[in-house]
Chain A
């Protein structure tokens, strides 16, 4: 069914830049007239106030909110869903990777009461588009990138189901309505965090060039993303407090995720960096070395 049709699908609004959060989030009031929000973060963020930039702004906008902690598990998604059902928000704001991935599932379940978790988690291939008829629109979904984000703000992927095939919940209906990438929310001092971000970005880019379902749209974004990582990661290593460099790296992660979201063919790990290396004009070995360097730093915690 996917054969005669290819696509390019990303969130309707992707906002970015240092300091963009207060400007973008203002649209909740000025453009969408929202009044009640559920704000999701992970457990650590809940304790440490990661979502403060968001909640402070909601106060200013007189948007009533409830802060909830979630994890990447079925139980947590269902618990989050319960909290959302009780609160009846007209928008959901997820801050950070964990919250964004869990939040996508919560949002879809909230807007489609007849849908069960089991149905949502059924092993469907993203390219089969069977869940297309899922409703969205009741609760405006905003995905906000934070320190642990690697691009799920712009992807149709939700939580990984801890099981065999390694395919998580995925559907284009899960795309957030708005994604906000504000580098002020990303802690840059922690090199392993940034290395992880770059690792994922490069990996996604490699998969895009390797995949049989790839398109020029995806390649354009992935190529640029890879270039950005290779150019700016060393600069970040040299000067970790350079916000300009951090911005380029976080853009790279988002772009690679956008690309990957449109070619995804079920393969999880970058089997082969050949194609990407060729496109970049590097030898496979060279690219693999750079990649390994970054992976090592990502793991070192």
Chain B
């Protein structure tokens, strides 16, 4: 059996490793229940043996105090068991059904555990219990000075574990430790738990195996002038004398504020400390450090023994030796880690000075990352402030407040949310990969199972959408009767203003006694400059509502002015930055509506801007267009009154009507389309097919105008939520570069883009969880069939749908190519590359079901420059 392999050479160690690994392979499939039974049995057995093991440790190492080692063994068994008895470490350890995430725990494999001579049996118990709870195998590399008691502890735990069902030989050890064997096990293991001095820790990290190391400690107990001296001094004495100061977290120095220095000293003396005189100090210095390293002979010894070694005598009952010092550099022996019953003591001029000294000690004499201790009145406001500063400054991973440092640092004795452990991580400062108290979570691999989920989607629209021929004055009623508004700011373009379109609004405002002013300076492609002017005017007038009347330009300009008016500090570049997911964007749009209620009234059918969260503004200095998109820009109210559409000239009717059609088509094809937007988009398409030719032919046809107005707003609602696609991206740039009206630009490209999107083998698919596979062909056919197209196959229906769209375009006078609109050939092709890239970069591209390559965009532009040859 594997227990009988005596490990005293590399060969025997290799054999042992194989045996433990074989046992661990079996262990890896144990259930939580089986593991917990074993865990409990092992803890019980270790606890039962706390005294014999403690005796062995003291006898073999010649260090420490039996009765304190008993506590350590008891703690290692009891507190570790208690902390982890209910923790899941096997199989599914976490499950979030809503998000579809499951975490599954698996063991790491083989742990190499290096055991120090200062806490041999307790550390062995601690590490074996952790290994058992996490289904890992473990092989101990004992310290030569403590090998007998370490192995005894390991053997005991192993026997109890096997008896409770663990596989034979799950715990192993090196019987005759040597540097070579330690290095071998460190290299071969899957993880190293290294407790020891800096040299050993460094070896662990250099082995190539992941290591959870510890570092040297050099805790200073800073005693603030507000501290409870009785509590502080006695805790420090208790902590320092525990097992003769061998826990790495223990206090090594005291830094006392000058105002309490004498009181501290007095209490220390009262309770059994001895303050060295200068001669004795030097003797101790020379004994403590041999060639700059800690003298092993003084580790874990009582003061009288240390004095003996140093060449003077002290009474046996002296509990702690104190050496007062001033120098915090590496040259002062009292500044170093002592691991025995010696304390250095410094006087601080102020709290700042105390922190400075504590830092210097860590940096100069070692101990970075380990532990700091602070004694302070943490109930007072001032004390809490100082505490926060201390916590901020100390580069240590345990900052203990008003607790003994050794017994406090190991956790769960003086603070119960602090994980109990005998392996204390020191973070990067100590060259460790862990900065907390090591526990079960560091010894398992967590596998995360993530199941596909779809992004939450939404349907958002202005709170109030009013429509009908003649509804404008009725809708505006609310401004007074419901909202109590007093000052309205109208935004519109010059043409509309000059031709009296604002009259119906201003008359009504007059009737209601609402003051108003009109800003009629909006240009097509509204500019930042004009928006600034408008915002300035708003700031002067201080309206509580804004009414934007017009086509897309006026409504967009109105929205931008609204933003500038309510948030002059807003940065356009940030607002206009591209996002993949509108809910995850980096920029948080400022909250709108705090000063003014926004009403959008379209005069064309149309951009749909009255119900969308979008606005496009041009920077007149660079010609760059900024598309802003955020639901904060959604108007509060939209009023769609057919009366305002009646006089739209043919060209406008055609361009805006076909724009609405592309809105509906792109919203339907979008990767973000939902049932809600689909229903609305389809209806819009049906209406446009039926009524756009009528409205174009006879602008006085009220029904046709009304239906087009509805269709435009509905298409707007659809794309306000489902967004658009690459046709609009391309139309935006075509418009920017070659000044084609937006609707016409869309019209020229849409059918070709539809073919592009409908490809069953697209070069690249759009990335969005709910868009599972390319099926835009089928989607377009749904639209087609809803619009009365029939056919035997999807391909046939699609072709007929394209034809139907071309027919519509013909009926409203859309030309057949970009060239026909007077765009110069040389100019077009000279700038085509840049235009294609810009189109690719447009925000609308992201929702396209087929993710376009820049070259593909270029192809579409090129083809449609020349148009169809039919």
Q: Name A residues whose Cβ lies closer than 8 Å to a Cβ of B.
A: 4-10, 12-24, 53, 132-133, 184, 215-217, 219-225, 228, 248, 251-252, 254-255, 258
Complex Cα spacing A133 to B457, Å = 31
Complex Cα spacing A155 to B248, Å = 67
Return the contact of B707 from the options A16, A20, A216 (Cβ within 8 A): A216
B residues near A16, Cβ cutoff 8 Å? 456-459, 674
- Contacts A14-B676, A16-B457, A133-B481 supplied; 4 other A-B pairs, CB < 8 Å: A18-B453, A19-B100, A215-B710, A225-B679
Identify the closest chain B residue to A248 (Cβ). B675
B258 within 8 A of A: no
Query: Which of A20, A224, A254, A258: most chain B CB closer than 10 A?
Result: A224
Could you tell me if B457 and A18 are in contact, using CB atoms closer than 8 angstroms? Answer: no
Question: In the complex, which residues 586-607 of chain B have their Cβ closer than 8 Å to any Cβ of chain A?
Answer: none
Return the contact of B468 from the options A6, A20, A225 (Cβ within 8 A): A6
The segment from B269-277, B339-347, B371-379, B680-688 that touches chain A is: B680-688
B773 within 8 A of A: no
Return the contact of B676 from the options A7, A19, A251 (Cβ within 8 A): A251
Known contacts being A132-B482, A251-B675, A255-B676, is A17 close to B454, with CB within 8 Å? Answer: yes
The distance from the CB of B593 to the nearest CB of chain A, in whole angstroms, is 11
Question: In the complex, which residues 448-494 of chain B have their Cβ closer than 8 Å to any Cβ of chain A?
Answer: 453-461, 463-468, 470-471, 474-475, 478, 481-482
B residues near A14, Cβ cutoff 8 Å? 458-460, 676
Complex Cα spacing A246 to B128, Å = 51
B residues near A215, Cβ cutoff 8 Å? 467, 710
Identify the closest chain B residue to A216 (Cβ). B710
Complex Cα spacing A217 to B717, Å = 10
Could you tell me if A223 and B683 are in contact, using CB atoms closer than 8 angstroms? Answer: yes
B98 within 8 A of A: yes
Could you tell me if B471 and A22 are in contact, using CB atoms closer than 8 angstroms? Answer: no
B residues near A133, Cβ cutoff 8 Å? 481-482
Identify the closest chain B residue to A259 (Cβ). B679
A residues near B659, Cβ cutoff 8 Å? none
Complex Cα spacing A133 to B484, Å = 10
Could you tell me if B675 and A5 are in contact, using CB atoms closer than 8 angstroms? Answer: no
B714 within 8 A of A: yes
A residues near B17, Cβ cutoff 8 Å? none
Could you tell me if B683 and A184 are in contact, using CB atoms closer than 8 angstroms? Answer: no
Complex Cα spacing A221 to B680, Å = 6
Complex Cα spacing A224 to B682, Å = 9
Query: Which of A20, A225, A248: most chain B CB closer than 10 A?
Result: A20
Could you tell me if A252 and B456 are in contact, using CB atoms closer than 8 angstroms? Answer: no
B678 within 8 A of A: yes
Identify the closest chain B residue to A251 (Cβ). B675
Could you tell me if A4 and B676 are in contact, using CB atoms closer than 8 angstroms? Answer: no
Please report whether the interface of chain B is mostly helix, strand, loop or mixed according to DSSP.
Answer: mixed
Identify the closest chain B residue to A228 (Cβ). B675
Complex Cα spacing A93 to B674, Å = 25
Complex Cα spacing A9 to B464, Å = 6
CB pairs A–B below 8 angstroms (17 shown): A4-B468, A4-B471, A5-B471, A6-B467, A13-B458, A13-B460, A14-B458, A14-B459, A14-B460, A19-B454, A24-B456, A184-B98, A216-B707, A217-B465, A217-B683, A220-B714, A222-B679
A residues near B679, Cβ cutoff 8 Å? 220-225, 255
A residues near B676, Cβ cutoff 8 Å? 14, 221, 251, 254-255, 258
Could you tell me if B678 and A224 are in contact, using CB atoms closer than 8 angstroms? Answer: yes
Could you tell me if A7 and B465 are in contact, using CB atoms closer than 8 angstroms? Answer: yes
Could you tell me if B464 and A216 are in contact, using CB atoms closer than 8 angstroms? Answer: no
Known contacts being A217-B680, A220-B684, is A5 close to B466, with CB within 8 Å? Answer: yes
Could you tell me if B675 and A4 are in contact, using CB atoms closer than 8 angstroms? Answer: no
B831 within 8 A of A: no
Complex Cα spacing A49 to B285, Å = 69
Could you tell me if A19 and B714 are in contact, using CB atoms closer than 8 angstroms? Answer: no
B711 within 8 A of A: yes
A residues near B717, Cβ cutoff 8 Å? 217
Identify the closest chain A residue to B769 (Cβ). A17
Known contacts being A5-B466, A216-B707, A228-B675, is A12 close to B682, with CB within 8 Å? Answer: no
A residues near B687, Cβ cutoff 8 Å? 216
B residues near A24, Cβ cutoff 8 Å? 456
Return the contact of B710 from the options A4, A21, A217 (Cβ within 8 A): A217
The distance from the CB of A108 to the nearest CB of chain B, in whole angstroms, is 15
Known contacts being A14-B460, A220-B680, A255-B676, is A6 close to B453, with CB within 8 Å? Answer: no
Could you tell me if B465 and A9 are in contact, using CB atoms closer than 8 angstroms? Answer: yes
Could you tell me if A4 and B470 are in contact, using CB atoms closer than 8 angstroms? Answer: yes
B312 within 8 A of A: no
Complex Cα spacing A16 to B457, Å = 6
B826 within 8 A of A: no
Could you tell me if B682 and A223 are in contact, using CB atoms closer than 8 angstroms? Answer: yes
Query: Which of B97, B459, B482, B684: most chain A CB closer than 10 A?
Result: B459
Return the contact of B98 from the options A22, A220, A223 (Cβ within 8 A): A22
Identify the closest chain A residue to B685 (Cβ). A220
B residues near A12, Cβ cutoff 8 Å? 460, 463
B99 within 8 A of A: yes
Complex Cα spacing A8 to B460, Å = 12
Question: In the complex, which residues 328-372 of chain B have their Cβ closer than 8 Å to any Cβ of chain A?
Answer: none
Identify the closest chain A residue to B707 (Cβ). A216
The 8 A CB mask of B648-676 against A (1 = contact, 0 = none) is 00000000000000000000000000111
Identify the closest chain B residue to A177 (Cβ). B463
The 8 A CB mask of B705-744 against A (1 = contact, 0 = none) is 0010011001001000000000000000000000000000
The 8 A CB mask of B93-104 against A (1 = contact, 0 = none) is 000011110000
